[in-house]
Amino acid sequence: MKFRIDNLQYCNWTREVFEINREANLDAVHVTIVYHEDFDELKEQIKVWEKLLKDNSDLIFLGKDFKDIEKANSEKKTAIFFGFQNCSPIEDNINLVEKVHQLGCRFMQLTYNNQSLLATGCYEKIDSGVTNFGKEVIREMNRVGIVVDMSHSAEKSTFDAIELSEKPIAITHANPTFWHAAKRNKSSDLLKTLSESGGILGLSLYPHHLKDNTNCTLESFCEMVARTTEIMGIKNIGIGSDLCLNQPDKIVEWMRNGTWSKSKNYGEGSKNKTGFPKQPEWFKDARGFVNLEVGLKKIGFSETEINGILGNNWYNFYKTI
């Protein structure tokens, strides 16, 4: 079978976005439903999603496991998998891991950019790795079936998570630093270890993760994919576009600052570029998957390999959860 999966989007969700994802033939999307929210605030977001799922049931449904990707494919719908970009919904309580799984959570980042109770984020100066509580939580996530996502984590913490987790982990949205040395991108050593452990990397289309940002070319991106497969092999990469369609700039400000700072933090942006960056022309939304298909073919990937990168590798990863 041929699947198309975008394993990270955080859009301002409307019917229009779900329609675009269907036009792109996406069988599954891992959607970020919370960043800094605690457990009660998570429940509010779940309610928002319950309404979205109900109002757009002809386009989407809540995905629980890999079988729902097959179902989506046959019904021409998109399975929506819930994920968190920070561990704040489980607060300081190991028992909430099972609860958030029951609410639909399938991916949870151990950290956003800063230190969390579980591990260190990529914007901290020193990385102490996975904490005492973090070790307990990874074990519990393995048990209940939530994927450890280290996209925004610091390097040692990520190596720790790979070692500690009994199930393969994911970096749902990031690129290799050999191509673009952003703080959020990942070293070749780390990517090699990730793939050797059965883990997977979702390549990001978010301009701050791209060489030349908005001006990144499709050719450059596809060359990067080819070089990444030399490090990771062909079966451990997919797409995690990090698309933030129609989000107002106040959202990225909130993502970066939450409630942790009285001064303003610009994260991947800068004082002069505070808002969401503009997407490259060839990936303005998920319909850019067809451009990726063309670009990957041009650089020499076979059809099977392209299907792997654009969806089947994620599908196989979901089978391991």
3-state SS assignment for residue 168: coil
**Cβ 116 to a second copy shortest distance, Å:** 7
3-state SS assignment for residue 311: strand
Residue 108 parent element (H or E):
strand 105-109
Contacts to a second copy by CB under 8 A: 36, 38, 88, 91-95, 114-117, 120, 123-129, 131-134, 136, 139-140, 258-263
* Contact (CB, 8 A) for 90 and 40: no
**Cβ 92 to a second copy shortest distance, Å:** 6
- Spell out the long-range contacts of 60-64 with Cβ–Cβ below 8 A and sequence spacing 24 or more: 60/18, 60/21, 62/104, 63/28, 63/106, 64/104, 64/106
* Contact (CB, 8 A) for 159 and 127: no
User: For residue 298, what are its two tokens?
Assistant: 């041009």
Q: Find the angle CA(74)-CA(75)-CA(81) to the nearest 5 degrees.
A: 95
**Cβ 50 to a second copy shortest distance, Å:** 25
**Residue number, 14 or 257, with CB nearest to a second copy:** 257
**Cβ 191 to a second copy shortest distance, Å:** 23
* Cα–Cα distance, 46 to 17 (Å, whole number): 18
**Cβ 145 to a second copy shortest distance, Å:** 16
**Residue number, 117 or 251, with CB nearest to a second copy:** 117
**Residue number, 131 or 172, with CB nearest to a second copy:** 131
DSSP assignments along 204-255, one per residue: ---GGGSTTGGG--HHHHHHHHHHHHHHH-SSSEEE---B-TT--HHHHHHH
Nearest in space to 123 (alpha carbons), one of 269, 319, 284, 296:
269
**Residue number, 131 or 312, with CB nearest to a second copy:** 131
Residue 272 CB neighbour total at 10 angstroms = 6
Please name the residue ranges forming H helices in the chain.
Answer: 15-23, 39-55, 66-75, 95-102, 132-144, 155-164, 188-196, 218-232, 249-257, 289-298, 303-310, 312-318
**Cβ 160 to a second copy shortest distance, Å:** 10
**Cβ 161 to a second copy shortest distance, Å:** 14
**Residue number, 25 or 88, with CB nearest to a second copy:** 88
**Residue number, 85 or 313, with CB nearest to a second copy:** 85
**Residue number, 154 or 286, with CB nearest to a second copy:** 154
3-state SS assignment for residue 126: coil
**Residue number, 267 or 311, with CB nearest to a second copy:** 267
**Cβ 91 to a second copy shortest distance, Å:** 7
